[in-house]
Amino acid sequence: MQVIEKLEELSKRYEELNSELSRPEVVSDHNLLRKFSKEQADLSDIIKAYRNLSDVVREINELEGIISEGEDPELVGMAREDLAALIERRSEFERKINFLLIPVDPYDEKNIFLEIRAGTGGEEAALFAADLFRAYCRYAEFRKWKVEMMSVSNSATGGLKEVIALIQGDGAFSRLKYERGVHRVQRVPLTESQGRIHTSAITVAVLPEADDLEISIDPKDLKIDVYRSSGPGGQSVNTTDSAVRVTHLPSNIVVTCQDEKSQHKNKAKAIKILQARLLDKMEQERDSEISKERKSQVGSGDRSERIRTYNFPQNRVSDHRIGLTLYRLEDIMEGKLDDLIDPLIMHFQTEAVKDSFTN
């Protein structure tokens, strides 16, 4: 679907909403009234821009007609002056419309659960998981976001086998949602005596925080197990049955939490993580049904997809989805991630606009 066809379709829908909102049965139905009013409000900016663009295009056509006729030299001169300004205005409205046509992700302003797990590479993968988690925490500091640890499993050498954190802040999901996937690291491990470069990998998941209205969990669908915590955490943690394992029976999703001394706190954290995973599962199933092609697109969210390589000897980081290579790995690992994130967002927004014209 071309841009003009898309805009005409939206304009038609906007007029339909105007008619719907004037119907007595809609006015008396608060839920329907709220639904149609929101849809109309969401369309208002782009419809206004489209109408302004249409007015400018009509004026441009009139001026071009005057210039092509060329009967009055003075009038033609004035028309040429006005035409330059109108062409610039047309470009401004076109840029604005392209921006407004980008589909809105309903989860963009949500908090997120960031999950990082060590994969191929053993202890070296766990060490890199800790390094990358630190980079995300530093980025959160720059953004003035709050990071709350939900669950952590340490490795023997101080790395992270798994870590789950809740990151709270404006636009957290919109900025980090493209980080999900397999992150590969190439570097010389501290334990390598001959200086050989090893390749390891970790997985990153980014899940929007779900609320009770989005994901309602029936307690009957949960199996709750409590057990004694293991690993560091202090005597009171390790000698009481404070760890909690929550199994969602319909989906077979299992979440464990053992960081808090309180069994109730661990259970509450586990259920929050479970809600996020169920929401993520629901969205992936919905996307799969809408379009099989979407899975092959950049940013499909497939966690088996290798998205990025961090090469320490060359101080290089490469994002394989958009062919971006930066030789500032030290800065990236200090949390200066915008040089990676901004090009990704721009790419995905461009693809989303293209995709909106084909649906």
* CB of 274 closer than 8 Å to CB of 217: yes
Distance CA 25, CA 8 (A): 27
CA 28 to chain CA mean position, Å: 37
Closest by CA to 320, choosing from 294, 338, 343, 337, is 343
Judged against a pLDDT cut of 90, whether residue 106 lies above it is answered with: no
Where do the structural domains in the chain lie, given as residue ranges? 3-100, 112-214+300-358, 219-287
* CB of 187 closer than 8 Å to CB of 312: yes
Give tens-digit pLDDT for 278-291.
Answer: 988 888 776 665 44
Distance CA 179, CA 207 (A): 11
Give tens-digit pLDDT for 45-58.
Answer: 899 999 999 999 99
Give tens-digit pLDDT for 291-332.
Answer: 444 343 334 334 457 899 999 999 999 999 999 999 999 999
Judged against a pLDDT cut of 70, whether residue 129 lies above it is answered with: yes
* CB of 62 closer than 8 Å to CB of 113: no
Which comes out higher in pLDDT, residue 196 or 127?
A: 127
What's the whole-model pTM score? 0.69
Distance CA 98, CA 47 (A): 12
Structure tokens at 45: 């900016």
The CATH number of the domain covering residues in 219-287? 3.30.160.20
Residue corresponding to tokens 């966690």: 303
Average pLDDT of the chain to the nearest whole number = 85
Give tens-digit pLDDT for 188-226.
Answer: 887 666 778 899 999 999 999 887 767 888 889 889 988
* CB of 288 closer than 8 Å to CB of 297: no
Mean pLDDT of 23-28: 90
Looking at residue 295, its pLDDT comes to 41
Looking at residue 303, its pLDDT comes to 44
Give tens-digit pLDDT for 144-189.
Answer: 999 999 989 998 888 999 999 999 999 899 999 999 999 999 998 8
Looking at residue 71, its pLDDT comes to 75
Looking at residue 300, its pLDDT comes to 38
Closest by CA to 157, choosing from 124, 109, 113, is 124
**CATH architecture of the region 3-100:** Up-down Bundle (1.20)
Query: CATH topology of 3-100 equal to that of 219-287?
Result: no
Q: With both helix axes pointing from N to C terminus, report the angle between 3-21 and 338-358 in degrees, rounded to the nearest 10.
A: 80
Instruction: Name the percent of the chain lying above pLDDT 90.
Output: 44
Query: Does the structural domain 112-214+300-358 have CATH classification 3.30.70.1660?
Result: yes
The letter for the amino acid at 194 is Q
Phi, psi of 227 (to 5 degrees): -155, 175
For the beta carbon of residue 131, count every other beta carbon within 10 angstroms: 17
Structure tokens at 9: 């379709």
* CB of 158 closer than 8 Å to CB of 130: yes
The phi-psi region of residue 104 (left if phi > 0; otherwise alpha if psi is between -120 and 50; otherwise beta) is beta
